[in-house]
Structure 1
């Protein structure tokens, strides 16, 4: 049974929006790309579990396992919170949907697949906590750009372009989405370094450690919101910033993101050094599965760059920013290789 009007076709499925769990067969999905991204993320979670378990056995420390759990718990909290607060986007229908057709399984698994690998790759450098967090934010933000541009084109999710919280747009993507993932990943990484590594190494009491793990999502959201303030001072697209006594300046908001993201990249370049450990091929697997999978989908769906109507593509959006995606593919691949130089035994 279909409801009459909603910007998202997933929210038009009345029966699904009344069910906590909803299953769709492969034939009911919009196209094969829905299965492809789902398979990529599930593979990433499996690889993350294997890697974290291996690290625990090798080092005797639960730090990697705590990091993996932290990624999952934070991701679940931030996504569910967004569905009932900003409510400016909706996911398409995937094979497994939760929370009244709002939460696809692959999104629930996205953070442990994506953020765990991003964090552990930069962790190899043994940077100071602040430098590490900023570099994780840069690397994750660069890689996320690839996904963020493809999703709206293929209707994996849809943005409400009339909602002021999504302004300004960079082609198919709100700049706020870029800046959110960048800043909140920095916040998560900084807090995770303290809890999962520093406190574990100093053998903090277990009640204190478990309590910190439990409130890590809340701490991340609070700290990430603080990091977001300079952007919001100019974007003014959500309360309480929309009440500030000056005019909205989206160009300045964009400049804030551009400068901070560029500074993070510069910090990584100027602090780069050869990691001490040997090449970790298991840790490299997911980033390359992710990059190759997305590159293939961009090529397979290249016709969308020409199927443009006055309102955008056939799904009502502009296509993603292909030059930015190409640069992000090159940059991400370069960072993965730089972070895993050839082992001495392989030379």
Structure 2
């Protein structure tokens, strides 16, 4: 669809190995064996499987426990995606091309939507990762003990560490390509824009979790039930409010850039925002984990399948990173021999350690709770 094929996107598509003009229509299917490299279908399968699992779990929670929280997380993330992503893909038709040029392009995968702009796995990664992060924090009892805002901040941190493992690998394996000279992408943290590191990895899931817990989760915890219509409008509102939150939370960096005219200032303020999230969330998560280890949990725990999937996701990402290390260490000036930009290995390792620890902490709570429950059952 050549009228939607902006020059910047056409250039990015060419570098990724496909043509903007022949990328397909509203939906396109390809053989997984015809993709750019073998890592693309592996990534696709891993993420989509997680999203399906998260949806099944959300339905089970609703039917068996009358708890719609996970349903709202899942579809709230989709609502957020539908609000945020299309204008980034088509700034011209949305009338914002004078202010926003194409920021990135995804490679083509087995299933794509919107003329090669939106792979199915990208749709899936929003609810999958939001569910994993939300369930870990909820299982550790942070929302019960510290309230909506602190709980949402913890979700932002957990989501961040899971997402950055993926975010710093994608450009090297040609999962997507960033527009290097787009001012909105600057500054970069190795191959990743700081906006992605902070806004899309931490602030948007924080905003989503805050809205979900505010409008649904805390009321479910108090015993309230919702009708289908009430859940529908709340989910739409949550998607809209989370989108607004994603615009509001990065405002300090936006203002710093506008006032100073410096992308360095933007990067510094983004870093300070991320440090603030870590400063709030990390001590709370550690303290809460130690607390439930000693005294157990008196509330919600997730199903082990969610945590098993989270561990599988981390294992798959570790394998994909391991296969990329040869080219990574052979890179010159941040580029592999194929010209692909490399991410930050040390930061990825740090995120992997924190993500693994968070899964282990939640798994310990689940195991302890199940053991106590089984002991009580046997005694009875």
- TM-score between the two structures when normalised by the length of structure 2: 0.81
How far residue 251 of structure 1 moved from its aligned partner, in angstroms, is 5.1
- Are 1:285 and 2:308 counterparts? yes
Q: Please name the residue that 1:112 is paired with.
A: 127
CA distance change for structure 1 residues 306 and 74 in 2, over 3 Å: closer, same or farther? same
How far residue 339 of structure 1 moved from its aligned partner, in angstroms, is 1.5
- Are 1:46 and 2:52 counterparts? yes
Q: Please name the residue that 1:318 is paired with.
A: 341
- Are 1:213 and 2:235 counterparts? yes
Mapped to 2, the partners of 1:289 and 1:65 lie a distance apart of 22
Q: Of 7, 11, 14, which aligns to 1:6?
A: 11
What RMSD over aligned residues (CA atoms) do the two structures have, in Å? 2.7
**Cα-to-partner distance string for 1:6-63 (whole Å, 9 max, x where unaligned):** 1223695244345211222123201110010001012102211222122223312222
Q: Of 81, 87, 95, which aligns to 1:81?
A: 87
Mapped to 2, the partners of 1:93 and 1:245 lie a distance apart of 38
How far residue 129 of structure 1 moved from its aligned partner, in angstroms, is 0.8
Please say if residues 204 and 242 of structure 2, whose CA atoms lie closer than 8 Å, have aligned partners that are also in contact.
yes
- State how many pairs are aligned: 340
How far residue 74 of structure 1 moved from its aligned partner, in angstroms, is 1.9
What pairs up with 1:81-100 in 2 under 5 angstroms? 81-85=87-91, 86=100, 87-100=102-115
How far residue 279 of structure 1 moved from its aligned partner, in angstroms, is 6.8
- Are 1:57 and 2:63 counterparts? yes
How far residue 153 of structure 1 moved from its aligned partner, in angstroms, is 0.9
The unaligned stretches of length 5 or more in structure 2 are 92-99, 373-380
How far residue 255 of structure 1 moved from its aligned partner, in angstroms, is 3.7
Please say if residues 190 and 334 of structure 2, whose CA atoms lie closer than 8 Å, have aligned partners that are also in contact.
no
Q: Of 158, 178, 181, which aligns to 1:139?
A: 158
Mapped to 2, the partners of 1:209 and 1:322 lie a distance apart of 42
Mapped to 1, the partners of 2:65 and 2:166 lie a distance apart of 33
Mapped to 2, the partners of 1:346 and 1:267 lie a distance apart of 25
Q: Of 190, 203, 219, which aligns to 2:210?
A: 190
Mapped to 2, the partners of 1:50 and 1:255 lie a distance apart of 36
Mapped to 1, the partners of 2:285 and 2:179 lie a distance apart of 34
Q: Please name the residue that 1:343 is paired with.
A: 368
